[in-house]
Amino acid sequence: MERMDITVKTILLSRKGSDGLICKDNMRADIQTTFFVRVNNQAKDVEQVADSIGTERASDPQQLELLFDAKFSEALKTVGKHFEFVELYNSRAQFKDRILEEIGTDLNGYILDDCAIDYLEQTSIQDLDENNILDSEGIKKIIELTSTQKIAANEIDREREKVIKKQDVEAKEAVLELERQQEEAEAKQRREISVVKSRETAEADKIREEERLKAEKARIATEEEIQIAEENRMRQVAVASKNKERTEAVEEERVKQAQQLEETERLRVVELATIEKEKALEVERKNIQDVIRDRVAVEKAVVEEQERINDTKAFAEAERQRKVKLVAAERDADAALVAEIKDAEAKKQSAEHAAKQRI
């Protein structure tokens, strides 16, 4: 048993650029529309589709496009000529309903469920052919509309600039008025401050002069007290100077006497020290002579001891030489004895050998 797919399929139809949809005002529109098509769920419609294109090709997208492209394109062109571009752009729902109405429901076993306008924009003026009558009309309309819009936009901009300029002028005037009022207030304040400062300055000068007079009186009184104190000080200095001179004279005399006593004592001490020194020198000289005598005796004993040591060394050396000679003589005698023994043994062996040969 053959099966047929009767679910909804989509057919995409796009007309752009030089193939754009021509509107009532001869302006072109780039449009992209999706159509939703399916096999009608009726036995006679299913049989009709199966007989005409087959069950497998009934839901093939390419086959569906071949079947309905021309019909749907013609419907778009027919309906598009009933709308100016701006009207078409603003009335998409009405445009879609008119397309569905134009296509109808008799699609040889198929049924059109719905369509959707996916994209709708004015075709760029660069894509229009100025040698084409319809396109030239569209170009003219585009230029007229855009020029009008530009003029209107420019008028709006100029009006906006005038309003802004007027507001700026009014704001500037208000600012200047406020600045004038501020200047007047500041000038008034400066005058009041100047009066107050002058009054305060005069009062300050008066107080300053009174204080100066008080200070001058105090200075004069202070100078008088200082002068009296200075005179008292000078008298005290004179008395102290005389007392100092008397004290210094007494002290000088006492110092001289003390120095004389110290000099006498020093000479006595020096004399005693000289005597003690001579005594010590005499004792030292005697000690030196004793030391010299002791040193001579020691040196004599050292010489005698050295001579005794030398004699002992000489005797020891002679004894050693004697013993060496004795040992050498004994060694020579032993060697001669050994030689004689060996010679005798050799002669004995020679005689024995000769005797054996004779036998």
Evaluate whether residue 149 is within a structural domain: no
Q: What is the pLDDT of residues 187-206, one digit of tens each?
A: 889 998 888 888 888 888 88
Query: Residue 28's closest CA among 130, 118, 131, 139?
Result: 139
- Say yes or no to pLDDT of 60 above 70: yes
pLDDT score at 244 = 85
Q: Of 88, 105, 110, which is closest to residue 33 (Cα–Cα)?
A: 88
Which residue type sits at 338?
V
Report the alpha-carbon distance of residue 100 to residue 178 in Å, rounded. Answer: 70
User: Is 74 a member of any domain?
Assistant: yes
Report pLDDT for 155: 75
94 part of a folded domain: yes
User: What confidence score (pLDDT) does residue 157 get?
Assistant: 73
Helix/strand/coil percent split, the chain, to 5:
80, 10, 10
- pLDDT at position 149 is 65
The pLDDT value given to residue 138: 58
How many domains does the chain divide into? 1
pLDDT at position 306 over 80: yes
Q: 133: pLDDT confidence band, cut at 50, 70 and 90?
A: low
Question: In this structure, is the dihedral angle defined by the CA atoms of residues 312, 313, 317 and 318, taken in order, positive or negative?
Answer: negative
Would you state the pLDDT for residue 247? Answer: 84
Residues in CB range of 292: below 8 A, 6 or more apart:
none
- Residue 55: CB atoms within 10 Å: 16
The mean pLDDT value for 219-248 works out to 85
Q: Is 277 contained in some domain?
A: no
Nearest Cα residue to 86 out of 144, 33, 128: 144
Let me know if residue 225 belongs to a domain: no
Q: What is the mean pLDDT of residues 247-264?
A: 84
d(C-alpha 224, C-alpha 357), whole Å: 173
Q: Do the domain assignments include residue 13?
A: yes
pLDDT score of 153 more than 90: no
Domain that holds residue 120: 9-128
- Give the rounded distance of the alpha carbon of 129 from its chain centre: 65
Separation between Cα atoms, residue 133 and residue 135, nearest integer Å = 6
Token couple for 200: 């305060």
CATH number for the domain spanning 92: value is 3.30.479.30
Residue 74 has pLDDT above 90, yes or no: yes
Residue 102 predicted with pLDDT over 80: yes
> So what's the pLDDT on residue 166?
84
HEC per residue, 103-124: HCCCECCEEEEEEEEEEEEECC
78 versus 245: the higher-pLDDT residue is 78
Q: Cα 282–288–294 angle (5° rounding)?
A: 145
Tokens of 275: 């005597």
The answer to whether 78 and 23 are in contact (CB under 8 A) is no
Q: Over the stretch 8-32, which tens digit does the pLDDT of each residue have?
A: 889 999 988 888 999 998 899 999 9
Q: What are phi and psi of 4, to 5 degrees?
A: -125, 135
Read off the pLDDT of residues 165-189 as tens digits, 9 standing for 90 and up.
888 888 888 888 899 999 888 988 9
Model pLDDT, residue 75: 93
- In 3D space, the residue among 58, 231, 22 whose CA is nearest the CA of residue 135 turns out to be 22
Question: What is the pLDDT, as a whole number, of residue 250?
Answer: 79
